[in-house]
Amino acid sequence: MARPGSGLPMNGVGYPPQSVARVVVWEWLNEHGRWRPYSAAVCHHIENVLKGDARGSVVLGQVDAQLSPYIIDLQSMHQFRQDTGTMRPVQRNFYEPSSAPGKGVVWEWENDNGSWTLYDMEICVTIQNAYEKQHPWLDLTSLGFCYLIDFNSMCQTNRQSQRKRRLRRRMDLAYPLIMGSIPKSQSWPVGASSGQPCSCQQCILVNSTRAASNAILASQRRKLYGGSAGNAGATGTVVRQSNTFAGTSLWSPTSTSSTTKNNNISVGGGQAKAEQVQSPLSPANFPCSPVMPSLSSGHGHHALTINGQNNLNRPGTQRISMGTARGTIPAGVPALPVKNLTGSGPVHPALAGMTGILMCAAGLPVCLTRAPKPILHPPPINKSDMKPVPGINGMRRKTKKKHLKRGKNPEDVVRRYAEKIKVVPDEDCTICMERLVMSSGYEGVLQHKGIKPELVGRLGKCGHMYHLLCLLAMYNNGNKDGSLQCPTCKTIYGEKTGTQPPGKMEYHVIPHSLPGHSDCKTIRIVYDIPAGIQTNEHPNAGKKFSARGFPRHCYLPDNEKGRKVLKLLIMAWDRRLIFTIGTSSTTGESDTVVWNEIHHKTEFGSNLTGHGYPDPNYLDNVLAELSAQGVGEDNLKD
């Protein structure tokens, strides 16, 4: 079967005929089930290491500094991240020399951060073919994507949302070209044996483990598929023994094939074209896991081949293959946590990942576990179960455009909070760094009637002294909301407000408890801010800003301190201090709505990200953050 877009016929082990020149592209499997290509430089590096030692490992940081934590183990065909222990399958694919990777042509689309992202190699090849044939546009529906490529405007349009993104074509290093026969040592995964097994104690132990696992696996498959190896012809199901556990070659072409005529499968009442599908947990990626069975009908009308090298990463086939993979993990096989961010497991994540690689190399069965996922939301809740928070009126607050601006005369604000002094001490003004006995550093830069450059004032609460012209310059450079904040001690004078865009805030009690607060229910806060246009108070007036991840759900315990925090958060919302427009610290995207130094708990039932419960210090910490914004407990009315 040929890989779509490659044009190269494949033989039984996933390689093109040995007499054909081919371009090699190495790829890794991401969390969405897509095979993502490494760069051409990285692929050249992998091929060079491969020539020297087909059973060795490849340090990717030697060619790309951004990949310094990653190592590829050629024997198990996995990418291993040293700092977290994360393991991902890798594969080696082949394309025609005249295709995009062979010519060094790269197609990329512009992401939300303004940087460029490489398309999957299969899509690159398809786009380049259409481009060379001078097609005006290309529909990617046939590849499982609802995008339309327009070569005239060089943009990609989402057919559902009609959102457009720029795309570009650029020249880069061509991917490595190989010719001739494949060396025997390149038939991965390595570790399959032939002939009589060794009689040492270690091999006897391994072989007995394989035999027991095969027996368990065969029993599970009979339950799963409703048949047995003895009557496979009657049921249309062929149950194969695990090649890894049996000690035979994983590449032996034992899967039952069918004719291409009427080659359809039915899943959940629907039909889809049958293609070779490689599960993310298939033996090509996890060589020490049981081999997936091949389903075949006796008449060749329905066939689904799980054990294949030509992986199509479409959502429908992913669900089929993943479901099959989960059903074939034998009981009793040790499970190693390969990713454990919280450190709650008994094994360090990096040690667990390396142990998994070593066990695979030794032929031992290893069941690789997935990382636990954060529980972001509570179970579904009816509207009738959402109750008002005791002691707080209403369940919603809105910020409208007419509330956004309250102009104040700058001179009046400075004179309100700073008292002019006659005896000036010989010390520095920490705003302009000039001596107070000298004129302000803003002399000649900023001029204002009634405030001379040599005048000095003392702030009423904290007593720190500055040039009045310097305080005026600081105010004009801020939000101009009628408040001042001492640059030395951060004491706030007046009511500080922020630059939060318009939106709404909802809050109510839900009948579930947070971890660590089993004695009370939960307050849920929902923030919703739409995208819009920046105003004069924002970094880039007149430019659009994005609002990612809204509505955002946050949680507080429904106890006395939790309700106090909610009251102060409502006050901070009214003062537009919860959010601002800036650059996201997580994605790097600019001109987007971001949190404004008041931390919230967005994880309901776990604390994997650090934004959940239990956290015994959170309520005290957020009270301190609110106080730093001028929203303290003294603002609450009895």
Answer whether residue 65 is part of any domain: yes
Residue 83 maps to which CATH number? 3.30.720.50
Same domain, 26 and 175: yes
Residue 598 maps to which CATH number? 3.30.390.130
Phi, psi of 161 (to 5 degrees): -95, -10
* pLDDT score at 271: 36
> Position 457: which residue type?
G
Whether the pTM exceeds 0.75: the reply is no
* pLDDT score at 327: 40
* pLDDT score at 290: 35
Q: Chain-wide mean pLDDT for the chain?
A: 73
* Mean pLDDT lowest among 95-109, 173-187, 380-394: 173-187
Q: Is the predicted pLDDT of residue 210 greater than 70, yes or no?
A: no
* pLDDT score at 351: 63
Q: How far is CA 60 from the centre of its chain?
A: 21
User: What 8-state DSSP symbol labels residue 130?
Assistant: H
* Beta-bridge partners for 397: 505
| More confident: 391 or 348 | 391
Mind listing the pLDDT tens digit for each residue in 23-65? 999 999 988 888 999 999 999 999 999 888 887 889 998 888 8
| Domain region containing 64 | 21-179
Percent of residues, the chain, with pLDDT higher than 70? 65
Same domain, 152 and 81: yes
Same domain, 26 and 155: yes
Q: Which one, of 261, 380, 313, lies nearest residue 30 by Cα?
A: 313
* pLDDT score at 212: 44
Q: Which one, of 429, 448, 450, lies nearest residue 439 by Cα?
A: 429
Number of domains in the chain: 3
- pLDDT category of residue 163 using cuts at 50, 70 and 90: confident
Q: For strands 237-238 and 264-267, give the pairing.
A: unpaired
Q: Which residues contact 207 (CB under 8 A, 6 or more apart)?
A: 197, 247
Q: Count CA within 13 A, CB hemisphere, residue 165.
A: 20
* Mean pLDDT lowest among 189-198, 355-364, 387-396: 189-198
Q: Is the predicted pLDDT of residue 466 greater than 50, yes or no?
A: yes
Same domain, 484 and 560: no
Same domain, 64 and 164: yes
Residue 416 maps to which CATH number? 3.30.40.10
Decide which of 154, 179, 204 is a domain's last residue. Answer: 179
Mind listing the pLDDT tens digit for each residue in 296-350? 333 444 333 333 333 333 333 333 333 334 344 444 444 444 444 444 444 555 5
* pLDDT score at 265: 31
In angstroms, the CA 326 to CA 316 distance is: 16
- pLDDT category of residue 232 using cuts at 50, 70 and 90: very low
Mind listing the pLDDT tens digit for each residue in 416-461? 899 999 899 989 998 988 999 999 988 877 777 778 888 999 999 8
Q: Give the DSSP letter string of 608-622.
A: SSSSSS--TTHHHHH
Q: How far is CA 313 from the centre of its chain?
A: 18
Count the helix, strand and coil residues of the chain and give each as a percent rounded to the nearest 5: 25, 20, 55
> Position 359: which residue type?
M
Q: Which residues contact 65 (CB under 8 A, 6 or more apart)?
A: none
CA-CA-CA-CA torsion sign (182, 184, 190, 193): positive
Q: Is the predicted pLDDT of residue 605 greater than 50, yes or no?
A: yes
Structure tokens at 27: 């790829």
Burial class (CB in 10 A: 0-12, 13-18, 19+), 260: exposed
Same domain, 107 and 165: yes
Same domain, 423 and 554: no
- Report angle CA 463, 467, 473 to the nearest 5 degrees: 110
Q: For strands 335-336 and 367-368, give the pairing.
A: parallel
Decide which of 149, 179, 209 is a domain's last residue. Answer: 179
* pLDDT score at 631: 92
Measure Cα distances from 102 to 93, 167, 330, 479, 586 in Å.
Answer: 12, 20, 42, 55, 35
Q: What is the pLDDT averaged over residues 580-588? A: 84
- Report angle CA 579, 392, 598 to the nearest 5 degrees: 25
Dihedral of CA atoms 52, 53, 58, 59 in degrees, nearest 10, equals -70
Contact status, residue 57 vs residue 74, Cβ threshold 8 Å: yes
Q: What is the pLDDT averaged over residues 134-144? A: 86
Contact status, residue 467 vs residue 501, Cβ threshold 8 Å: no
Q: Is the predicted pLDDT of residue 248 greater than 60, yes or no?
A: no
Structure tokens at 105: 């042509």
Same domain, 460 and 554: no
Same domain, 569 and 421: no
* pLDDT score at 145: 84
